[in-house]
Chains A and B, each alone.
Chain A
Amino acid sequence: MERKTNLTAPDGKQEILIERIFDLPLNLLFLAYTKAELVEQWMGNKVIKWDHKDHGSYQLETIGESGNVLFRANGTIHKSIENQQIIRTFEMENSTFPVQLEFLEFESIDNNTSKLAMKIVYKSVLDRDEMLKLPFARGIHLAHNRIQQIISNLK
């Protein structure tokens, strides 16, 4: 399996670093982060609000089959420099996770390759570690649901 994404979470620090090399020219990579219809496609959330500019803001959500809100998040754009940098916040609504600060640095490697370096700063080391556990917890949670389904089918 190819591993193109690197993740670093230094012990005892309230930050993580994510680096990824894309087989995309720099302008397309930056566009994927700034154009609402493209964000919707790769993030898999619906864009409710999208005002990508300095001091602008955004809001995303995912609606479940029965019309309930499964996920809603928002943030403000502190600064956006085309093809270079985005500084923004991200906050999951109706969750215990505090807002996080994100520094995204975009860099061209050659005409068809670009790099994204993302630094996410959390309120505390504990908040960071809880956030890191989410995907693992979800995997286990799905397995639990499956077992519950099996057991209820047996009844």
Chain B
Amino acid sequence: MNLRRDVFQAIANPTRRTILLLLAAQSMTAGSIASHFDTARPTVSKHLQILTECELLKQEQQGREIYYHFNAQKMREVADFLEPFRQMWEEKFNKLEQIMLNYKSK
């Protein structure tokens, strides 16, 4: 499985979630999306690439500019909310495991 295309990986990142919410309101160019963040533009481009690869965003050429659109259909699949719940437990259990491994070696 290509992890890059995992939708849940895509929305696990706060910057990418913010991009999705920005684009849910209106289509934007990469430049105007980047202007909403303090992070470097190549970083934002990388986030856009990941979101596009997992089909949460669509690109559309308008004249010289490329506009990013929010793909609501794909987002509905994400609304299958089980995965974030599972991940929450996975994180807790990973922490438990780490703490107990340290405890054991004491």
Contact = CB atoms under 8 A, between A and B. Distances in A.
Given A143-B14, A143-B18, A23 B97 contact: yes
Question: At the interface, is chain B mostly helix, strand, loop or mixed?
Answer: helix
Given A22-B96, A28-B103, A28-B104, 15 more contacts: A1-B3, A4-B90, A9-B82, A22-B93, A24-B97, A29-B96, A42-B92, A133-B81, A136-B85, A139-B12, A139-B17, A140-B17, A142-B14, A143-B17, A146-B18
Interface in A7-56: 7, 9, 18, 20, 22-25, 28-29, 31-32, 38, 41-44
A97 B53 CA distance: 38
Interface residues on A, range: 35 or more
Interface residues on B, range: 20 to 34
Contacts of A116: 93
A144 interface: yes
A145 B104 CA distance: 40
Interface of A: 1, 3-7, 9, 18, 20, 22-25, 28-29, 31-32, 38, 41-44, 116, 132-137, 139-140, 142-144, 146-147, 150
Contact of B90 (A3, A139, A142): A3
> Closest 3 A-B residue pairs measured CB to CB?
A143-B17, A136-B81, A42-B96
A25 B103 CA distance: 12
A135 B18 contact: no
A22 B99 contact: no
A150 B85 contact: no
A97 to B, nearest CB: 14
